Chain A
Amino acid sequence: KNEVEQSPQNLTAQEGEFITINCSYSVGISALHWLQQHPGGGIVSLFMLSSGKKKHGRLIATINIQEKHSSLHITASHPRDSAVYICAGPTGGGADGLTFGKGTHLIIQP
């Protein structure tokens, strides 16, 4: 079964700072997901990537398949970026579904 670890667990930063959240996993995967959970509880999919880098607005996700590591970056962070960011990879072993990290709780202070 895939083990997914995220760091840091909690991160507080000032508005405008460059943010990096890390995710490592134990089993080779075909794709890794980054999700955002809003303070109200809703979860949205941000990225799904299997190689290289993807960018959406101020969010950038990178993945290194050989090192089993992915990062989520936020440039010019803003208080509205405050949320829990979750990475997830396939569970493996033939099971459908994903194994989720515990999440990184990000607070951006004005």
Chain B
Amino acid sequence: NAGVTQTPKFQVLKTGQSMTLQCAQDMNHNSMYWYRQDPGMGLRLIYYSASEGTTDKGEVPNGYNVSRLNKREFSLRLESAAPSQTSVYFCASKGQGSFNSPLHFGNGTRLTVT
């Protein structure tokens, strides 16, 4: 049981390049999330998906797109990376019951945009 698997662990991009962060969970969870973590700030929600086929913007969606490919997978795409997107990105999931279920996190992706 791997939980939440996130790839890659590290990535360096040049400004304007694109990339996709992959996330998969094997816990049959409905809800999946993408967060970014920056120094001195709490985790901030980029996008979330409450169920397969649905996605919604979070607090900081600009510059990102997401795709809920199926119940297991939720990917985050940067179409044209900017230095402001240098951050640590976390994927998370939780089961039915929304607020009252624990979150399960991936190990994070450290992204640097130069």
Residue A109, interface by CB 8 Å = no
Contacts of B88 in A (CB 8 A): 41
Interface SS of A by simple majority: strand
Contacts of A44 in B (CB 8 A): 105
For A43, the closest partner residue in chain B by CB is: B105
Asked whether A97 lies within 8 Å of B105 as measured between CB atoms, the reply is no
Considering only residues 45-71 of chain B, those with a C-beta below 8 Å from chain A are: 45, 48, 50, 56, 58-59
CB-contact partner of A86 in B42, B45, B108, B110, under 8 A? B42
For A44, the closest partner residue in chain B by CB is: B105
Asked whether A33 lies within 8 Å of B102 as measured between CB atoms, the reply is yes
Asked whether B90 lies within 8 Å of A96 as measured between CB atoms, the reply is no
CB-contact partner of B50 in A86, A90, A96, A102, under 8 A? A96
Beyond A96-B98, A97-B48, whether A102 also contacts B41 by CB under 8 A is yes
CB-contact partner of B43 in A31, A41, A48, A100, under 8 A? A100
Beyond A95-B58, A96-B56, A97-B33, whether A45 also contacts B104 by CB under 8 A is yes
A30 to B100, CA, bound (A): 7
- Pairs of residues from A and B, 8 with the lowest C-beta to C-beta distance, nearest first: A100-B42, A45-B102, A43-B105, A100-B43, A97-B45, A90-B99, A31-B100, A102-B42
State the B residues within 8 Å of A (CB): 31, 33, 40-45, 48, 50, 56, 58-59, 88, 90, 92, 98-105, 107-108, 110
State the A residues within 8 Å of B (CB): 4, 29-31, 33, 35, 41-45, 48, 50, 86, 88, 90-91, 95-103
